[in-house]
């Protein structure tokens, strides 16, 4: 990919996101092996292009696996820099008067073959404009909610939050509840999780928290998958999964800020839209 000059903080963040990608993908492939599948991630590098379509300012790697348990899972990492174009920069924290930016992060969406296994989203990132901050979160999206899984997911994220600040979990849970909402349907996208943004000031403390969010996800989601992946399901439950996926797609295409950010900054289209489910239904 086109070279970027990174400072020590940018390098540390990029290295962590790439290492987290490797850990997550290895765990997901291990789950496929347990299910008797030889599915593995296929990795496709991409370069960021500028407004003229010329590679400029970093890029990333798109990882996709389609298996017996994971019907479609994408794990993307990117490290890009450049300048926001037009009025979009004025909507970004710290970029109103200077459009230059740097961003590095990991983004993951998993759509599962068994409707009893929840879909999931996780994203953490480090952005630099005239400010420096971390953002991200994780949220669980079950077509057929099971209280044990919801409680486990939230308890694990809460423990990660509480290790840093007792106020993090209630604040970031509420933020997720408000963000992952589909106004035109008047429903939430899933059963929530945490969402945070603009964590700035103390790089080391905020970086440590962001790392622990990634570790918490790696702890809890594979546990939930293994708990449910062998359950039998009916055609009616599969139909409900596809209807629910339709709403998931509506949110990501209409309201999701990450989708817009990727499209506005020369991101890879396939990587940006990997969040869309392989099969969905509208009735």
- Residue pair 138/213 in contact (Cβ under 8 Å)? The answer is yes
Q: Which H/E stretch holds residue 194?
A: strand 192-199
- Residue pair 274/76 in contact (Cβ under 8 Å)? The answer is yes
How many other CB atoms are found less than 10 A from the CB of residue 2?
15
DSSP per-residue string spanning 71-128: EEEEEEEEEEEEE--GGGGGGSTT-SS--EEEEEEEEEEEEESSTTSPEEEEEEEEEE
- Rounded CA Rg of the chain: 18
- Residue pair 170/195 in contact (Cβ under 8 Å)? The answer is no
Q: Which of 128, 2, 14 is nearest to 56 (CA)?
A: 2
Residues taking part in catalysis: 121
- Residue pair 249/276 in contact (Cβ under 8 Å)? The answer is yes
Burial of 3 (0-12, 13-18, 19+ CB in 10 A): exposed
């Amino acid at each position: 990919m086109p070279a970027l000059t990174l400072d020590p903080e940018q390098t540390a963040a990029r290295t962590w996101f790439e290492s987290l990608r490797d850990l997550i993908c290895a765990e997901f492939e291990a789950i496929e092996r347990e299910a008797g599948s030889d599915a593995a991630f296929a990795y496709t590098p991409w370069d960021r292009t500028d407004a003229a379509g010329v590679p400029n300012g970093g890029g990333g790697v798109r990882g996709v696996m389609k298996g017996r348990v994971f019907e479609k899972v994408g794990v993307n990492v990117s490290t890009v820099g450049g300048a926001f174009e037009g009025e979009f920069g004025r909507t970004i924290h710290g970029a109103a008067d200077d459009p230059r930016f740097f961003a590095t992060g990991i983004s993951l969406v998993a759509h599962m073959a068994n409707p009893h296994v929840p879909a999931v989203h996780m994203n953490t990132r480090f952005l630099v404009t005239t400010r420096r901050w971390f953002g991200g979160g994780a949220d669980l999206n079950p077509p057929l909610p099971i209280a044990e899984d919801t409680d486990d997911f939230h308890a694990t994220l809460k423990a990660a939050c509480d290790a840093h600040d007792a106020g993090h979990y209630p604040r970031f849970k509420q933020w997720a509840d408000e963000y992952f909402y589909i106004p035109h349907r008047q429903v939430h996208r899933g059963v929530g999780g945490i969402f945070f943004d603009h964590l700035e000031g103390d790089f080391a403390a905020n970086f440590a928290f962001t790392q622990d969010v990634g570790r918490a996800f790696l702890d809890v989601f594979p546990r939930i998958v293994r708990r449910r992946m062998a359950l039998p399901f009916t055609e009616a439950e599969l139909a409900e999964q596809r209807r629910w996926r339709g709403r998931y797609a509506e949110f990501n295409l209409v309201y999701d800020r990450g989708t817009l950010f990727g499209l506005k900054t020369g991101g890879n289209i396939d990587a940006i839209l990997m969040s869309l489910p392989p099969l969905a239904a509208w009735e």
